Amino acid sequence: MKPVVPVDRRLKHRILAAGIVSLLAWTLLQTVSSGGTIPWSEEMREAARRMEAAIKVVARYCQTAGIRIDESLDPNHTGLIGPEYSPVFTTLGQLAAKRTTTNPDMAGLLVYLLHRAGASAGDTIAVGGSASFPALIVAALIAAEAMDVHAVTILSLGASSYGATRPEFNLLDIHELLVREGILHTVPAAVSLGGEGDVGSEFDPATRERLLQQLRMSGIPLVEDPDLRGNVARRMAVYLGTSEERLAAFVNIGGSDANLGSSPLVLEVESGLNTDLVFPPPAQRGVLYEMAARGIPVIHLLHIRGLARRYALPWDPVPLPEPGTTRLHDDEGARDWRFWLVTAAYFAVLALIGFAVRARRG
């Protein structure tokens, strides 16, 4: 029979002390980190109000132009939710995610995220958006204008389900409407057809020609190159131009191949603000990675469920909230000096307890 080795009472006390310290540290961290409520600035409120106005303009136009709003798909009557399938359809999309992006407070959140990225009045940002999320594109451009930030924008006309999928009222039509009505003042720097290879190769010939004719009439330059590296280079040339001024941020909206690239690593990019990414080989990089490689913060707007969870946006709200009323949160942004002080103190105390245990055993 093995002898019973008595447990040192001091060791038991130190284990108990470590448990108490851990509990106290956890409580303190909850206190200092749960204060991640994002305060609504006047810029954020103004952006949200303008977003609401944009939605009303689009909805009113749909009514007067005889463009049907399917209430089963778009119960908030925004006009920014299209049919599931259409001639400009590219991939499947989630209806609830598309409706979530029509929240006017999305524009307010983007003001906050642009400030977090370091953008301020007079700066320039790059925006790359597909027609899969027309509401997000409107929100991003409104946010930039509310901040007096210039947005160099490249739009793609191919759309996933429930995006700007109406051929007769596509993303470019929506943008031109909002410019005419004085909601937006930002003209796209370039447009691509989107879809496979970013050249609309899956569109039927008539649809493709109609879109190309629309682009020719608009006078907006076309980005068209099925080669990923060539396409990315063209886009970067548009964004960077001849200016030596560093871009303050890149906002990616949707899943354009040219913006995301071909590496599965892009699936690990978190929704929202990103400042530290794992890079794929250069041949697989889209614009998102080219921007990040230059040290430019990336705001990634694709996985809407993750975005809503990270910043406490309501999921698929009916009706839409009044502008400036959503209780937005950012736990990462709340990790100020108090968070790191408590964390450092916690590990220091644990180290002292561990040192005392080792010394006792010695």
Grouping H, G, I as helix, E, B as strand and the rest as coil, residue 154 is strand
Least confident of 27-31, 86-90, 311-315: 27-31
Is residue 143 domain-resident? yes
Closest by CA position to 135, among listed 175, 87, 182: 175
Q: Is residue 338 part of a domain?
A: no
The answer as to whether 175 is a domain residue is yes
In-domain check, residue 134: yes
**201-206 CB contacts, 8 Å cutoff, 24+ apart:** 201/226, 202/90, 203/87, 203/88, 203/158, 204/87, 206/87
The token duo for 327 is 């209780």
Q: Give the lowest-confidence range in 116-120, 244-248, 346-350.
A: 346-350
pLDDT average, residue stretch 97-120:
98
Task: Give me the number of domains the chain comprises.
Answer: 1
pTM passes above 0.85: no
> Above 60 in pLDDT, residue 336?
no
% of the chain surpassing 90 pLDDT: 78
Please check whether residue 16 lies inside any domain of the structure: no
Task: Decide if 334 is inside a domain.
Answer: no
Q: How confident is the model at residue 106 (pLDDT cuts 50, 70, 90)?
A: very high
Check: CB of residue 161 under 8 Å from CB of residue 85. Answer: yes
| Tokens at 104, concatenated | 């006017």
pLDDT of residue 50: 99
10 — pLDDT class (breaks 50, 70, 90):
low
Q: What is the pLDDT of residue 329?
A: 95
pLDDT(2) > 60 = no
The per-residue pLDDT for 30 is: 55
Query: CA-CA distance, 104 to 59, in Å (whole number)?
Result: 14
Mean pLDDT value across residues 267-271: 95
Q: 27 pLDDT exceeds 70? A: no
User: Where in the sequence is the domain holding 143, given as residue range(s)?
Assistant: 42-311
| Residue 356 pLDDT > 70 | no
Strands ordered across the beta sheet of 272-274 = 190-192, 150-156, 124-130, 250-253, 298-301, 272-274
Span 207-217, average pLDDT: 96
Least confident of 18-22, 112-116, 313-317: 18-22
pLDDT at 309 over 70: yes
Q: How confident is the model over 149-164, as a mean pLDDT?
A: 97
- The answer to whether residue 292 is domain-embedded is yes
Residue 125 — very low, low, confident or very high, per pLDDT cuts 50/70/90?
very high
Q: What is the pLDDT of residue 132?
A: 98
- The pLDDT value recorded for residue 13 is 65
Instruction: Show the DSSP H helices in 227-314 as ranges.
Output: 228-240, 257-260, 287-293, 304-311
Asked whether residue 2 is domain-assigned, the answer is no
> Tell me, what's the pLDDT at 111?
99
pLDDT-derived band at 347, boundaries 50, 70, 90: confident
Q: Is the pLDDT of residue 334 over 70?
A: no
Query: What does pLDDT average to over the chain?
Result: 90
pLDDT at 75 over 60: yes
